[in-house]
Amino acid sequence: MSIFAQLPLCLILMDYSLVRQTTMLSMVWQILNGVVYHIQSMAAWVLMEYISTVTHRCSHSRPHIVTASLAFSIAKA
């Protein structure tokens, strides 16, 4: 559904003078990047249905604890 908002905005806000300078390979990479981004977003939503919020919060806070611990140990040194 977001394509209905993105496509008109893309056509309105696009700098058409730069379009001629863009190579075909660059366009392919940009399109592939957009497709992979949307696949990743959809996969994340599907996976979040199977993970409880408590599990997500615990697993998400672990890297913050490790990062904070490293920062404090480096600051003490």
How do residues 37-69 score in pLDDT, each as one tens digit?
Answer: 999 989 988 887 877 766 666 666 777 777 888
Give the model's confidence band at 11: pLDDT under 50 very low, under 70 low, under 90 confident, else very high: confident
Instruction: Name the residue type at position 59.
Output: S
CA distances 22 to 26, 42, 46, 49, 68, Å, are 6, 29, 35, 40, 43
How many domains does the chain divide into? Answer: 1
Please give the Cα distance from 14 to 24 (Å, whole number).
Answer: 17
Nearest to 76 by CA among 18, 34, 4, 68: 68
Q: Could you list the residue range(s) of the whole structural domain that residue 27 is in?
A: 3-76
Instruction: Give residue for tokens 């660059």.
Output: 26
Give me the percent of the chain exceeding a pLDDT of 70. 86
Say if CB 62 and CB 70 are below 8 A apart: no
Say if CB 56 and CB 47 are below 8 A apart: no
